Amino acid sequence: MKFTAHDYQQYAIDFICQQRIASLILDMGLGKTVITLTALFDLLLDSFHVRKVLVVAPLRVGRDVWPEELDKWDHLEPLRYEVAIGNPEERLAALHRSAPITIINRENITWLIEKSGYPFDFDMVVIDELSSFKSHQSKRFKSMMKVRSKVTRIVGLTGTPSSNGLMDLWAEYRLLDKGERLGRFISHYRDAFFEPDKRNQQVIFTYKLKPGAEEQIYERIQDITISMKGSDHLSLPPLIVNERHVQLSEKEMARIEAIKRDLIITVEGEDITASNAAALSGKLLQMANGAVYDDQGQPIAIHERKLDALEDMVEAANGKPVLIAYWFKHDLDRIQAWIEATVLSNAASIQQWNEGRIQVGLIHPASAGHGLNLQFGGSTLIWFGLTWSLELYQQTNARLYRQGQTESVAIHHLIGKGTLDERVMKALKKKDVSQTAFIDAVKAELQLYEEEKTHENQ
């Protein structure tokens, strides 16, 4: 297929070629993979500024999307590449074939650098989904920092660099510029731009930005960063966002209220505990979906309200393909027992979806959130269960609502009325999903119950 770059794509291509350090914050659907590969073609085979490139990507994206894009575009045909994904023997064999471009999944970065025995001889690194390196304490971050000095060019790609707040940016830019712009130490960055927010005496739980700090941070990184929104560059079809509330019975709601009150509930003779707010959040979201794991990890059914609503929505689609996002394993099992649906778990099933051969598809946001092109197979997405992760939520929606989609996209959310679903949906709409938001929401639920109990006793 012939590639003709849009103006914004050519600008991004030139930016990568001209900058030794480049951070591209590109909205979903803008074509960041073909942009990067076109720049790599120039750097490898035209200007000869680069000899070997390592592409680090999420597993499915590295295995499926990057090879697909390399094989798709005519102008990239001369680029030779290897995919170092699989068992250790397969990865080593791919590395030793010494292709100009080697693609590896981010989970194997530590293996490559510290365990494989392969000499790290890449002079350029492309990190697809830079946000996955936002933790300076992660093994992948520490491993990459060990070889950062060997890399003369580096590119970071992402659509959501700071889904949990600007504190995330430090590790990402520390990896890109070795601390030149935001400092070499997280403590210095934090002290310069943040101040304590929620605390308990000497223990600080969260931080908030100092006045004017956001503008200062952006100013420091602007010379190596470009940011583009899809709405500014793409003519996308209409997007319809809908919430369908399902009403639980009094008995079903009583079970949910009981776990909020006591942090323990007995359902069908089994004990289910939630020892802290984070665990309680998971329990409450499970129950909103209709089942919950007991202490032995076995799911116990509570209601079928969402399954009934889901069946109605699939039937109303009248044969039109529907994509369903699920979160918990028991959600998947219950959905597949209720309606005929296929999990999009590999390249073959994804191809079948895009060819229109799957009427009802199932995806998990954590495994299908980044990079996958699903817009050719349908335009309807139903969230059976919600996630606190704004990044995964936005990325999953963008599997359908992206460049190449020709129909109006409808994104539906099944919301358990009176459940934690409502708070999660509110947080997602406000884009206020910080790392403590789910804990705050659960605490608010507990506090509300205490207030109601106090009122009843008066």
Q: Is the pLDDT of residue 165 over 80?
A: no
- Torsion sign (Cα): 97, 103, 104, 109: positive
Q: Is the pLDDT of residue 362 over 50?
A: yes
CA nearest to 29, candidates 263, 259, 230, 284: 230
Is residue 105 classed as helix, strand or coil in its secondary structure? strand
Report how far apart, in Å, the C-alpha atoms of 177 and of each of 138, 167, 213, 337 are.
18, 16, 20, 50
> What pLDDT sits at residue 148?
97
Q: Roughly what angle, to the nearest 10 degrees, separates helices 437-457 and 420-430? A: 140
Q: Cα 304 vs. chain centroid, distance in angstroms?
A: 28
- Mean pLDDT lowest for which of 18-32, 66-80, 286-300, 429-443? 429-443
Report how far apart, in Å, the C-alpha atoms of 373 and of each of 175, 331, 405 are.
28, 24, 10
Task: Please state the rounded mean pLDDT for residues 95-104.
Answer: 96
Decide if 22 contacts 224 (C-beta within 8 A): yes
- Using left for φ > 0, alpha for ψ between -120 and 50, and beta otherwise, residue 439 falls in alpha
Q: Write down the residue that tokens 């539906």 correspond to.
A: 412
User: How does DSSP assign 261-315, residue by residue?
Assistant: HHSEEEETTEEEE--SHHHHHHHHHHHHHTEEE-TTS-EEE---HHHHHHHHHHH
> What pLDDT sits at residue 55?
98
22-31, 102-111, 278-287: which is most confident: 102-111
Task: Please state the rounded mean pLDDT for residues 52-78.
Answer: 91
- Mean pLDDT lowest for which of 57-71, 75-89, 142-156? 57-71
Give the whole-number percent of the chain exceeding pLDDT 90. Answer: 52
> What pLDDT sits at residue 342?
95
- pLDDT confidence tier of residue 457, bands split at 50, 70 and 90: low
Tokens linked to 444: 């608010």
> What pLDDT sits at residue 232?
72
Task: Please state the rounded mean pLDDT for residues 406-418.
Answer: 90
- Give the chain's mean pLDDT: 86
Dihedral angle at the C-alpha atoms of 22, 26, 30, 33, nearest 10 degrees?
40
Name the residue type at position 47: S
Give the whole-number percent of the chain exceeding pLDDT 70. Answer: 86
Q: Is the pLDDT of residue 200 over 60?
A: yes
Q: Is the pLDDT of residue 229 over 90?
A: no
Higher pLDDT, 294 or 53: 53
> In residues, how long is the chain?
458
- Please name each of the domains of the chain with its CATH number: 7-230 (3.40.50.10810), 239-453 (3.40.50.300)
Name the residue type at position 383: W
Pairwise CA distance, residues 256 & 267, whole Å: 10
Decide if 385 contacts 407 (C-beta within 8 A): no
Q: Is the pLDDT of residue 437 over 80?
A: no
Q: What is the pLDDT of residues 247-259, one digit of tens each?
A: 898 988 888 887 7
Pairwise CA distance, residues 76 & 78, whole Å: 6
Element (H, E) at 81: strand 81-83
User: How does DSSP assign 162-208, residue by residue?
Assistant: TTT-GGGHHHHHHHHHTTTTT-SSHHHHHHHHEEE-SEETTEE--EE
Pairwise CA distance, residues 248 & 404, whole Å: 39
> What pLDDT sits at residue 274?
47
Q: Is the pLDDT of residue 211 over 80?
A: yes
Higher pLDDT, 273 or 137: 137
- Mean pLDDT lowest for which of 60-74, 81-95, 223-237, 426-440? 426-440
CA nearest to 83, candidates 315, 226, 69: 69
> What pLDDT sits at residue 41?
97
> What pLDDT sits at residue 421?
94
User: How does DSSP assign 411-438, residue by residue?
Assistant: EEEEEETTSHHHHHHHHHHHT---TTHH
- pLDDT confidence tier of residue 244, bands split at 50, 70 and 90: confident
